[in-house]
Structure 1
Amino acid sequence: MTDKSRALALALFALVLLAFLGYAAGRARNPESASGVPVVEKSRSAAAPVVTVAARQTSGGPKSGTGKFVIAPGDGPVVGRGLVHAYQVAVETGAGLAAADFATAVEATLADPRSWTARGRWGFRRVGPGEPHHFVVKLATPATVDKICGAAGIQTSGEVSCRAGGNVVINLRRWLLAIPPYAGRLRDYQHLVVNHEVGHFLGFGHAGCPGRGRPAPAMMPQYYGLDGCVPNAWPYPQSR
Protein backbone atom coordinates (compact mmCIF):
# COMPACT_ATOMS: atom_id res chain seq x y z
CA MET A 1 0.00 0.00 0.00
CA THR A 2 1.39 3.38 -0.95
CA ASP A 3 1.62 6.26 1.47
CA LYS A 4 -1.21 8.01 -0.41
CA SER A 5 -3.50 4.95 -0.14
CA ARG A 6 -2.67 4.56 3.54
CA ALA A 7 -3.59 8.20 4.24
CA LEU A 8 -6.88 7.83 2.35
CA ALA A 9 -7.81 4.71 4.36
CA LEU A 10 -7.07 6.46 7.65
CA ALA A 11 -9.24 9.42 6.61
CA LEU A 12 -12.17 7.14 5.73
CA PHE A 13 -11.79 5.32 9.07
CA ALA A 14 -11.87 8.63 10.94
CA LEU A 15 -15.06 9.68 9.14
CA VAL A 16 -16.79 6.39 9.96
CA LEU A 17 -15.71 6.68 13.62
CA LEU A 18 -17.05 10.25 13.91
CA ALA A 19 -20.39 9.22 12.37
CA PHE A 20 -20.74 6.33 14.83
CA LEU A 21 -19.94 8.55 17.82
CA GLY A 22 -22.52 11.09 16.68
CA TYR A 23 -25.21 8.41 16.33
CA ALA A 24 -24.44 7.05 19.82
CA ALA A 25 -24.69 10.51 21.35
CA GLY A 26 -28.05 11.03 19.66
CA ARG A 27 -29.36 7.73 21.05
CA ALA A 28 -28.29 8.81 24.55
CA ARG A 29 -30.18 12.08 24.25
CA ASN A 30 -33.26 10.52 22.63
CA PRO A 31 -33.63 6.87 23.68
CA GLU A 32 -35.66 4.61 21.40
CA SER A 33 -38.28 2.03 22.12
CA ALA A 34 -37.86 -1.53 20.91
CA SER A 35 -39.49 -0.53 17.61
CA GLY A 36 -36.88 2.14 16.97
CA VAL A 37 -39.30 5.04 17.63
CA PRO A 38 -37.74 7.77 19.79
CA VAL A 39 -39.13 7.90 23.36
CA VAL A 40 -39.98 11.40 24.58
CA GLU A 41 -39.75 11.70 28.37
CA LYS A 42 -42.61 13.58 30.03
CA SER A 43 -41.60 16.49 32.18
CA ARG A 44 -42.31 15.87 35.87
CA SER A 45 -43.16 19.53 36.37
CA ALA A 46 -45.96 19.27 33.80
CA ALA A 47 -47.99 16.93 36.00
CA ALA A 48 -50.90 18.54 37.85
CA PRO A 49 -50.30 18.70 41.63
CA VAL A 50 -52.43 16.42 43.79
CA VAL A 51 -53.84 18.23 46.83
CA THR A 52 -54.40 15.65 49.55
CA VAL A 53 -56.65 15.97 52.60
CA ALA A 54 -53.54 16.26 54.76
CA ALA A 55 -52.25 19.12 52.61
CA ARG A 56 -55.58 20.96 52.91
CA GLN A 57 -55.54 20.54 56.67
CA THR A 58 -51.97 21.83 56.88
CA SER A 59 -52.63 24.89 54.72
CA GLY A 60 -56.13 25.66 55.94
CA GLY A 61 -57.53 25.29 52.43
CA PRO A 62 -58.01 28.01 49.80
CA LYS A 63 -58.36 31.58 51.01
CA SER A 64 -61.13 32.37 48.54
CA GLY A 65 -63.71 30.53 46.46
CA THR A 66 -66.48 31.29 44.02
CA GLY A 67 -68.90 32.83 46.51
CA LYS A 68 -71.52 30.31 45.35
CA PHE A 69 -72.77 27.40 47.44
CA VAL A 70 -73.88 23.83 46.88
CA ILE A 71 -76.65 22.70 49.25
CA ALA A 72 -76.36 19.15 50.54
CA PRO A 73 -79.16 16.98 49.11
CA GLY A 74 -81.63 14.91 51.09
CA ASP A 75 -83.36 15.28 54.43
CA GLY A 76 -82.34 14.13 57.88
CA PRO A 77 -84.38 12.90 60.84
CA VAL A 78 -85.73 15.21 63.53
CA VAL A 79 -83.42 15.25 66.55
CA GLY A 80 -84.46 16.65 69.91
CA ARG A 81 -87.81 17.92 71.19
CA GLY A 82 -89.49 21.28 71.50
CA LEU A 83 -89.36 23.88 68.76
CA VAL A 84 -87.92 22.16 65.69
CA HIS A 85 -85.69 24.30 63.46
CA ALA A 86 -85.28 23.18 59.86
CA TYR A 87 -81.86 23.95 58.43
CA GLN A 88 -79.85 23.45 55.27
CA VAL A 89 -76.14 22.71 54.94
CA ALA A 90 -74.10 24.26 52.14
CA VAL A 91 -70.46 24.34 51.05
CA GLU A 92 -68.86 27.03 48.89
CA THR A 93 -67.71 25.72 45.53
CA GLY A 94 -63.95 25.85 45.40
CA ALA A 95 -63.58 25.05 49.10
CA GLY A 96 -62.53 21.49 48.30
CA LEU A 97 -65.03 19.68 50.54
CA ALA A 98 -68.19 17.81 49.57
CA ALA A 99 -71.47 19.25 50.83
CA ALA A 100 -72.69 15.77 51.81
CA ASP A 101 -69.64 15.18 54.01
CA PHE A 102 -70.00 18.53 55.74
CA ALA A 103 -73.71 17.84 56.26
CA THR A 104 -72.90 14.54 57.98
CA ALA A 105 -70.55 16.34 60.37
CA VAL A 106 -73.07 19.07 61.20
CA GLU A 107 -75.89 16.57 61.74
CA ALA A 108 -73.71 14.56 64.13
CA THR A 109 -73.00 17.68 66.20
CA LEU A 110 -76.62 18.79 66.51
CA ALA A 111 -77.82 15.25 67.23
CA ASP A 112 -75.37 14.74 70.09
CA PRO A 113 -77.11 14.68 73.52
CA ARG A 114 -74.61 17.29 74.78
CA SER A 115 -75.65 19.78 72.09
CA TRP A 116 -78.61 22.20 72.06
CA THR A 117 -81.21 19.43 72.18
CA ALA A 118 -80.20 18.45 75.74
CA ARG A 119 -82.87 20.44 77.63
CA GLY A 120 -85.81 19.63 75.37
CA ARG A 121 -86.25 23.22 74.22
CA TRP A 122 -85.14 22.78 70.61
CA GLY A 123 -85.03 20.17 67.90
CA PHE A 124 -83.38 20.23 64.48
CA ARG A 125 -84.00 18.69 61.09
CA ARG A 126 -81.79 19.03 58.04
CA VAL A 127 -83.64 19.64 54.77
CA GLY A 128 -82.49 19.66 51.16
CA PRO A 129 -82.52 22.28 48.38
CA GLY A 130 -85.75 24.18 47.82
CA GLU A 131 -87.32 23.23 51.15
CA PRO A 132 -88.46 25.77 53.78
CA HIS A 133 -85.85 26.34 56.48
CA HIS A 134 -84.95 28.63 59.36
CA PHE A 135 -81.19 28.85 58.86
CA VAL A 136 -78.32 27.60 56.69
CA VAL A 137 -75.02 26.27 58.00
CA LYS A 138 -72.46 27.37 55.41
CA LEU A 139 -68.84 26.29 55.11
CA ALA A 140 -67.00 29.09 53.32
CA THR A 141 -63.50 30.24 52.50
CA PRO A 142 -62.10 33.07 54.66
CA ALA A 143 -62.67 35.73 51.99
CA THR A 144 -66.32 34.75 51.58
CA VAL A 145 -66.83 34.59 55.35
CA ASP A 146 -65.51 38.15 55.57
CA LYS A 147 -68.00 39.29 52.90
CA ILE A 148 -71.06 37.62 54.42
CA CYS A 149 -70.23 38.55 57.99
CA GLY A 150 -69.00 42.01 57.08
CA ALA A 151 -72.35 42.77 55.43
CA ALA A 152 -73.92 42.11 58.85
CA GLY A 153 -71.41 44.40 60.60
CA ILE A 154 -69.25 41.56 61.97
CA GLN A 155 -65.49 41.65 61.45
CA THR A 156 -64.00 38.19 60.97
CA SER A 157 -60.58 39.17 59.53
CA GLY A 158 -60.27 35.95 57.55
CA GLU A 159 -59.88 33.96 60.76
CA VAL A 160 -63.15 33.33 62.59
CA SER A 161 -66.77 32.32 61.92
CA CYS A 162 -70.03 34.16 62.56
CA ARG A 163 -73.80 34.07 62.52
CA ALA A 164 -75.26 36.64 60.14
CA GLY A 165 -79.06 36.59 60.09
CA GLY A 166 -80.15 33.20 58.83
CA ASN A 167 -76.59 32.25 57.89
CA VAL A 168 -74.45 30.25 60.30
CA VAL A 169 -71.11 30.76 58.55
CA ILE A 170 -68.21 28.43 59.36
CA ASN A 171 -64.73 29.54 58.35
CA LEU A 172 -63.00 26.84 56.28
CA ARG A 173 -59.62 27.74 57.77
CA ARG A 174 -60.84 27.10 61.30
CA TRP A 175 -62.69 23.95 60.22
CA LEU A 176 -59.44 22.48 58.90
CA LEU A 177 -56.93 23.86 61.41
CA ALA A 178 -58.90 24.33 64.67
CA ILE A 179 -57.15 26.51 67.29
CA PRO A 180 -54.13 25.79 69.55
CA PRO A 181 -56.11 24.58 72.62
CA TYR A 182 -57.67 21.91 70.35
CA ALA A 183 -54.40 20.70 68.81
CA GLY A 184 -54.84 17.04 67.97
CA ARG A 185 -58.58 17.32 68.64
CA LEU A 186 -59.86 18.69 65.35
CA ARG A 187 -63.26 16.98 65.54
CA ASP A 188 -63.87 18.47 68.99
CA TYR A 189 -63.22 21.95 67.61
CA GLN A 190 -65.57 21.29 64.70
CA HIS A 191 -68.28 20.39 67.21
CA LEU A 192 -67.51 23.61 69.07
CA VAL A 193 -67.71 25.98 66.11
CA VAL A 194 -71.07 24.53 64.97
CA ASN A 195 -72.50 24.67 68.50
CA HIS A 196 -71.21 28.20 69.04
CA GLU A 197 -72.61 29.74 65.87
CA VAL A 198 -75.92 27.83 66.07
CA GLY A 199 -76.11 29.07 69.66
CA HIS A 200 -76.00 32.63 68.33
CA PHE A 201 -78.87 31.77 66.01
CA LEU A 202 -80.83 30.51 69.03
CA GLY A 203 -80.30 33.86 70.73
CA PHE A 204 -77.30 33.25 72.98
CA GLY A 205 -74.57 35.85 73.39
CA HIS A 206 -70.97 35.36 74.40
CA ALA A 207 -70.07 33.92 77.79
CA GLY A 208 -66.92 34.12 79.90
CA CYS A 209 -64.91 31.52 81.79
CA PRO A 210 -66.81 30.54 84.97
CA GLY A 211 -63.64 29.63 86.83
CA ARG A 212 -60.13 28.29 86.41
CA GLY A 213 -60.08 24.63 85.46
CA ARG A 214 -63.76 24.51 84.59
CA PRO A 215 -65.08 23.67 81.09
CA ALA A 216 -65.14 26.66 78.78
CA PRO A 217 -68.75 27.47 77.83
CA ALA A 218 -69.63 26.66 74.23
CA MET A 219 -70.66 30.31 73.86
CA MET A 220 -67.27 31.54 75.01
CA PRO A 221 -65.24 32.96 72.07
CA GLN A 222 -62.51 30.38 72.65
CA TYR A 223 -60.51 31.47 69.61
CA TYR A 224 -59.39 34.50 71.65
CA GLY A 225 -58.32 32.49 74.71
CA LEU A 226 -59.75 30.32 77.48
CA ASP A 227 -58.87 32.53 80.51
CA GLY A 228 -58.03 29.52 82.64
CA CYS A 229 -60.90 27.31 81.49
CA VAL A 230 -60.29 23.96 79.81
CA PRO A 231 -61.43 23.24 76.25
CA ASN A 232 -65.06 22.18 75.85
CA ALA A 233 -67.16 21.89 72.70
CA TRP A 234 -70.62 21.34 74.18
CA PRO A 235 -73.42 23.55 75.56
CA TYR A 236 -74.33 20.83 78.08
CA PRO A 237 -71.19 18.69 78.52
CA GLN A 238 -72.69 16.61 81.37
CA SER A 239 -75.69 15.44 79.33
CA ARG A 240 -75.22 11.88 78.13
Structure 2
Amino acid sequence: MAAVIGGAVTAAPRWAVGDGRPAAAAAPEPSDTPRDPVPDSTSPSPAAKPKPRAKPATASPSPSPSATAPPRVPASGPGTFTVARAGASSGGGNAYRVEVEDGSGVDPDTAAALIADVLAAPRGWAHAGARSFHQVAAGPAGMVIRIATAATTDRICATGHMNTHGEVNCRLDEVVMVNLKRWQTGSPEFHGPLADYRALIINHEVGHWLGHGHETCPGKGRPAPAMMQQIYGLKGCVSNAWPYDAQGQYLGGPSVR
Protein backbone atom coordinates (compact mmCIF):
# COMPACT_ATOMS: atom_id res chain seq x y z
CA MET A 1 0.00 0.00 0.00
CA ALA A 2 1.20 3.50 -0.67
CA ALA A 3 0.32 6.35 1.67
CA VAL A 4 0.31 10.01 0.65
CA ILE A 5 2.49 11.85 3.15
CA GLY A 6 3.02 15.56 2.75
CA GLY A 7 2.46 15.37 -0.99
CA ALA A 8 4.87 12.46 -1.53
CA VAL A 9 3.94 8.83 -2.03
CA THR A 10 5.59 6.63 0.56
CA ALA A 11 5.26 2.89 0.55
CA ALA A 12 4.07 1.62 3.89
CA PRO A 13 5.32 -1.76 5.17
CA ARG A 14 3.19 -4.83 4.64
CA TRP A 15 2.33 -4.94 8.30
CA ALA A 16 3.41 -3.55 11.58
CA VAL A 17 2.48 -4.56 15.07
CA GLY A 18 1.48 -1.68 17.27
CA ASP A 19 1.71 -2.52 20.95
CA GLY A 20 2.10 -6.18 20.06
CA ARG A 21 5.05 -8.35 19.21
CA PRO A 22 4.93 -11.15 16.63
CA ALA A 23 5.23 -14.56 18.30
CA ALA A 24 6.15 -13.10 21.71
CA ALA A 25 4.04 -13.28 24.84
CA ALA A 26 2.16 -10.09 25.51
CA ALA A 27 2.35 -8.52 28.93
CA PRO A 28 -0.64 -9.69 30.97
CA GLU A 29 -3.39 -7.23 31.64
CA PRO A 30 -2.38 -6.90 33.21
CA SER A 31 -8.56 0.49 35.92
CA ASP A 32 -26.50 11.60 55.57
CA THR A 33 -25.99 14.17 58.26
CA PRO A 34 -27.41 12.85 61.56
CA ARG A 35 -30.49 14.68 62.74
CA ASP A 36 -31.78 15.39 66.27
CA PRO A 37 -34.36 12.90 67.54
CA VAL A 38 -37.96 13.81 66.74
CA PRO A 39 -39.62 15.30 69.93
CA ASP A 40 -42.25 13.25 71.73
CA SER A 41 -45.65 14.28 70.40
CA THR A 42 -47.36 13.96 73.77
CA SER A 43 -47.53 17.12 75.91
CA PRO A 44 -45.91 16.82 79.36
CA SER A 45 -48.06 17.37 82.49
CA PRO A 46 -47.69 20.81 84.15
CA ALA A 47 -45.65 19.30 86.96
CA ALA A 48 -43.40 17.31 84.75
CA LYS A 49 -39.94 18.57 84.14
CA PRO A 50 -38.94 18.95 80.51
CA LYS A 51 -36.92 16.07 79.29
CA PRO A 52 -33.27 16.87 78.59
CA ARG A 53 -32.40 17.30 74.96
CA ALA A 54 -30.99 14.12 73.65
CA LYS A 55 -27.45 14.26 72.37
CA PRO A 56 -27.10 13.68 68.65
CA ALA A 57 -25.82 10.28 67.85
CA THR A 58 -22.25 10.14 66.70
CA ALA A 59 -22.27 8.86 63.17
CA SER A 60 -19.51 6.64 61.92
CA PRO A 61 -17.80 7.92 58.81
CA SER A 62 -19.47 6.68 55.67
CA PRO A 63 -17.26 4.52 53.52
CA SER A 64 -15.83 6.25 50.49
CA PRO A 65 -17.81 5.62 47.33
CA SER A 66 -16.32 2.79 45.37
CA ALA A 67 -14.53 3.61 42.16
CA THR A 68 -16.61 3.56 39.03
CA ALA A 69 -16.76 0.03 37.77
CA PRO A 70 -14.86 -0.47 34.54
CA PRO A 71 -17.00 -0.99 31.47
CA ARG A 72 -17.88 -4.51 30.50
CA VAL A 73 -15.59 -5.48 27.67
CA PRO A 74 -16.74 -8.45 25.60
CA ALA A 75 -13.89 -10.73 24.62
CA SER A 76 -15.40 -11.74 21.28
CA GLY A 77 -17.97 -10.52 18.80
CA PRO A 78 -19.65 -11.40 15.53
CA GLY A 79 -16.90 -9.96 13.33
CA THR A 80 -19.31 -7.55 11.66
CA PHE A 81 -18.82 -3.80 11.80
CA THR A 82 -20.88 -0.62 11.74
CA VAL A 83 -19.44 2.37 9.89
CA ALA A 84 -19.38 5.75 11.64
CA ARG A 85 -21.31 8.31 9.60
CA ALA A 86 -21.41 11.46 11.72
CA GLY A 87 -18.45 13.68 10.87
CA ALA A 88 -17.90 12.21 7.42
CA SER A 89 -16.97 14.77 4.77
CA SER A 90 -15.59 15.12 1.28
CA GLY A 91 -12.58 17.18 2.40
CA GLY A 92 -9.06 16.73 1.11
CA GLY A 93 -6.12 14.93 2.63
CA ASN A 94 -5.90 11.31 3.68
CA ALA A 95 -9.32 9.67 3.64
CA TYR A 96 -10.07 7.22 6.44
CA ARG A 97 -13.09 5.29 7.66
CA VAL A 98 -14.01 4.32 11.23
CA GLU A 99 -15.74 1.00 11.89
CA VAL A 100 -16.79 -0.50 15.22
CA GLU A 101 -17.57 -4.16 15.80
CA ASP A 102 -21.22 -4.84 16.50
CA GLY A 103 -21.99 -5.70 20.11
CA SER A 104 -18.83 -4.04 21.44
CA GLY A 105 -20.74 -1.40 23.40
CA VAL A 106 -18.88 1.44 21.64
CA ASP A 107 -20.88 3.98 19.65
CA PRO A 108 -19.25 4.36 16.21
CA ASP A 109 -19.99 8.08 15.84
CA THR A 110 -18.66 8.89 19.31
CA ALA A 111 -15.48 6.92 18.64
CA ALA A 112 -15.07 8.64 15.26
CA ALA A 113 -15.30 12.07 16.88
CA LEU A 114 -12.53 11.16 19.34
CA ILE A 115 -10.35 9.80 16.53
CA ALA A 116 -10.91 12.92 14.42
CA ASP A 117 -9.74 15.10 17.32
CA VAL A 118 -6.56 13.05 17.67
CA LEU A 119 -5.77 13.13 13.95
CA ALA A 120 -6.28 16.91 13.81
CA ALA A 121 -4.40 17.73 17.04
CA PRO A 122 -1.43 20.14 16.74
CA ARG A 123 0.82 17.60 18.50
CA GLY A 124 -0.35 14.75 16.27
CA TRP A 125 0.64 13.69 12.77
CA ALA A 126 -1.13 16.75 11.32
CA HIS A 127 1.21 19.12 13.21
CA ALA A 128 1.99 22.42 11.49
CA GLY A 129 -0.19 21.42 8.53
CA ALA A 130 2.20 18.61 7.57
CA ARG A 131 -0.72 16.46 6.48
CA SER A 132 -4.47 16.31 6.88
CA PHE A 133 -7.06 13.60 7.35
CA HIS A 134 -10.77 13.46 6.64
CA GLN A 135 -13.33 10.85 7.57
CA VAL A 136 -15.50 9.16 4.97
CA ALA A 137 -18.46 6.84 5.35
CA ALA A 138 -18.43 5.38 1.86
CA GLY A 139 -16.17 5.22 -1.14
CA PRO A 140 -12.39 4.80 -1.21
CA ALA A 141 -10.47 5.10 2.05
CA GLY A 142 -6.72 4.80 2.30
CA MET A 143 -7.01 3.84 5.96
CA VAL A 144 -9.68 1.94 7.89
CA ILE A 145 -9.64 2.21 11.68
CA ARG A 146 -11.50 -0.67 13.29
CA ILE A 147 -12.31 -1.04 16.98
CA ALA A 148 -12.85 -4.74 17.59
CA THR A 149 -13.00 -7.30 20.36
CA ALA A 150 -9.83 -9.15 21.29
CA ALA A 151 -10.86 -12.31 19.45
CA THR A 152 -11.68 -10.46 16.24
CA THR A 153 -8.50 -8.40 16.49
CA ASP A 154 -6.44 -11.56 16.93
CA ARG A 155 -8.10 -13.23 13.97
CA ILE A 156 -7.59 -10.32 11.58
CA CYS A 157 -4.05 -9.56 12.73
CA ALA A 158 -3.14 -13.23 12.36
CA THR A 159 -3.73 -12.96 8.61
CA GLY A 160 -0.58 -10.81 8.61
CA HIS A 161 1.32 -13.35 10.76
CA MET A 162 0.97 -11.25 13.91
CA ASN A 163 0.08 -12.69 17.30
CA THR A 164 -1.71 -10.03 19.34
CA HIS A 165 -2.44 -12.44 22.21
CA GLY A 166 -5.88 -10.99 22.92
CA GLU A 167 -4.17 -7.93 24.36
CA VAL A 168 -2.89 -5.47 21.81
CA ASN A 169 -3.40 -3.69 18.49
CA CYS A 170 -1.92 -4.05 15.03
CA ARG A 171 -1.78 -2.47 11.59
CA LEU A 172 -2.26 -4.61 8.51
CA ASP A 173 -1.93 -2.80 5.17
CA GLU A 174 -4.60 -0.07 5.23
CA VAL A 175 -6.40 -1.56 8.26
CA VAL A 176 -5.64 -0.31 11.77
CA MET A 177 -6.98 -2.80 14.32
CA VAL A 178 -7.73 -1.32 17.75
CA ASN A 179 -8.22 -3.91 20.49
CA LEU A 180 -11.45 -3.08 22.35
CA LYS A 181 -9.85 -4.05 25.66
CA ARG A 182 -7.13 -1.41 25.26
CA TRP A 183 -9.63 1.21 24.02
CA GLN A 184 -11.90 0.70 27.03
CA THR A 185 -9.41 0.05 29.84
CA GLY A 186 -6.10 1.63 28.83
CA SER A 187 -2.76 0.11 29.84
CA PRO A 188 -1.30 -0.58 33.30
CA GLU A 189 1.98 0.93 32.11
CA PHE A 190 0.51 4.24 30.93
CA HIS A 191 0.22 6.93 33.60
CA GLY A 192 -2.47 9.30 32.42
CA PRO A 193 -6.18 9.53 31.61
CA LEU A 194 -7.86 7.05 29.33
CA ALA A 195 -8.38 9.77 26.71
CA ASP A 196 -4.60 10.14 26.43
CA TYR A 197 -4.08 6.42 26.05
CA ARG A 198 -6.65 6.32 23.28
CA ALA A 199 -4.69 9.11 21.59
CA LEU A 200 -1.54 6.98 21.92
CA ILE A 201 -3.28 4.00 20.30
CA ILE A 202 -4.31 6.10 17.29
CA ASN A 203 -1.00 7.95 16.99
CA HIS A 204 1.01 4.73 17.26
CA GLU A 205 -0.95 2.74 14.71
CA VAL A 206 -1.41 5.64 12.29
CA GLY A 207 2.34 6.19 12.65
CA HIS A 208 2.85 2.66 11.33
CA TRP A 209 0.43 3.42 8.49
CA LEU A 210 2.57 6.45 7.65
CA GLY A 211 5.69 4.28 7.52
CA HIS A 212 7.19 4.76 10.99
CA GLY A 213 8.75 1.82 12.80
CA HIS A 214 9.12 1.17 16.49
CA GLU A 215 11.31 3.41 18.65
CA THR A 216 12.54 3.13 22.22
CA CYS A 217 13.19 5.45 25.16
CA PRO A 218 15.70 8.23 24.33
CA GLY A 219 16.71 8.80 27.95
CA LYS A 220 15.56 8.70 31.55
CA GLY A 221 12.83 11.21 32.34
CA ARG A 222 12.18 12.11 28.71
CA PRO A 223 8.82 11.61 26.98
CA ALA A 224 8.33 8.12 25.62
CA PRO A 225 8.00 8.21 21.83
CA ALA A 226 4.52 7.63 20.44
CA MET A 227 6.14 4.89 18.35
CA MET A 228 7.43 3.10 21.46
CA GLN A 229 5.65 -0.05 22.67
CA GLN A 230 4.82 1.62 25.95
CA ILE A 231 2.63 -1.23 27.16
CA TYR A 232 5.80 -3.29 27.71
CA GLY A 233 7.38 -0.74 30.04
CA LEU A 234 8.74 2.80 29.76
CA LYS A 235 12.45 2.03 30.35
CA GLY A 236 12.91 5.24 32.33
CA CYS A 237 10.82 7.48 30.08
CA VAL A 238 7.54 9.08 31.07
CA SER A 239 4.18 8.31 29.49
CA ASN A 240 3.42 10.31 26.36
CA ALA A 241 0.71 10.01 23.73
CA TRP A 242 1.92 12.44 21.08
CA PRO A 243 4.57 12.34 18.33
CA TYR A 244 5.38 16.06 18.68
CA ASP A 245 5.72 18.52 21.53
CA ALA A 246 4.02 21.92 21.75
CA GLN A 247 6.91 23.52 19.84
CA GLY A 248 6.64 21.06 16.94
CA GLN A 249 9.72 19.04 17.94
CA TYR A 250 9.49 15.34 17.12
CA LEU A 251 9.53 13.24 20.28
CA GLY A 252 11.40 10.28 18.89
CA GLY A 253 13.93 7.78 20.12
CA PRO A 254 16.34 5.17 18.81
CA SER A 255 14.86 2.84 16.24
CA VAL A 256 14.07 -0.72 17.23
CA ARG A 257 15.22 -3.17 14.62
With structure 2 as the length reference, what TM-score do the two structures score? 0.66
2:114 aligned partner: 105
**Deviating runs (4+, > 4 A) in structure 1?**
none
1:64 aligned partner: 76
Within-5 A mapping of 1:187-198: 187-198=195-206
Within-5 A mapping of 1:161-172: 161-172=169-180
* CA deviation vs aligned residue, 1:70-127 (integer Å, no higher than 9, x gap): 010141485xxxx821000010001111110110110011111000011433210011
Q: What are the ranges of 5 or more consecutive residues in structure 2 without an aligned counterpart?
A: 1-67, 249-257
Q: Which amino acid aligns with 1:168?
A: V
Does the aligned pair in 1 maintain the 2:190–2:230 contact within 8 Å?
A: no
In 1, distance between residues paired with 2:136 and 2:94? Answer: 10
2:14 aligned partner: none
1:12 aligned partner: none
2:242 counterpart of 1:230: no
Aligned residues: 180
Equivalent in 103, 106, 114 of residue 94 of structure 1:
103
Equivalent in 122, 126, 147 of residue 117 of structure 1:
126
Larger relative contact order (C-alpha < 8 A, sep ≥ 6)?
Answer: 2
Q: What are the ranges of 5 or more consecutive residues in structure 1 without an aligned counterpart?
A: 1-53
With structure 1 as the length reference, what TM-score do the two structures score? 0.71
Deviation of the 1:154 alpha carbon: 1.2
The higher radius of gyration belongs to 1
In 2, distance between residues paired with 1:239 and 1:154? Answer: 36
Q: Percent identity, aligned pairs only?
A: 46
Equivalent in 151, 154, 164 of residue 159 of structure 2:
151
Q: Which amino acid aligns with 1:103?
A: A
Does the aligned pair in 2 maintain the 1:109–1:115 contact within 8 Å?
A: yes
Provide the alpha-carbon RMSD of the alignment: 1.7
Within-5 A mapping of 1:1-240: 55-57=69-71, 59=72, 61-74=73-86, 75-76=88-89, 78=91, 84-128=93-137, 130-183=138-191, 185-239=193-247
Does the aligned pair in 1 maintain the 2:126–2:132 contact within 8 Å?
A: yes
* CA deviation vs aligned residue, 1:41-92 (integer Å, no higher than 9, x gap): xxxxxxxxxxxxx5553x4x000011010010141485xxxx8210000100
SS of 2:96's equivalent in the other structure is: strand
Deviation of the 1:217 alpha carbon: 0.3
In 2, distance between residues paired with 1:84 and 1:233? Answer: 23
In 1, distance between residues paired with 2:128 and 2:210? Answer: 13
CA change 1:183–1:228 in 2 (3 A) is closer
Q: Which amino acid aligns with 1:62?
A: P
Does the aligned pair in 2 maintain the 1:66–1:93 contact within 8 Å?
A: yes
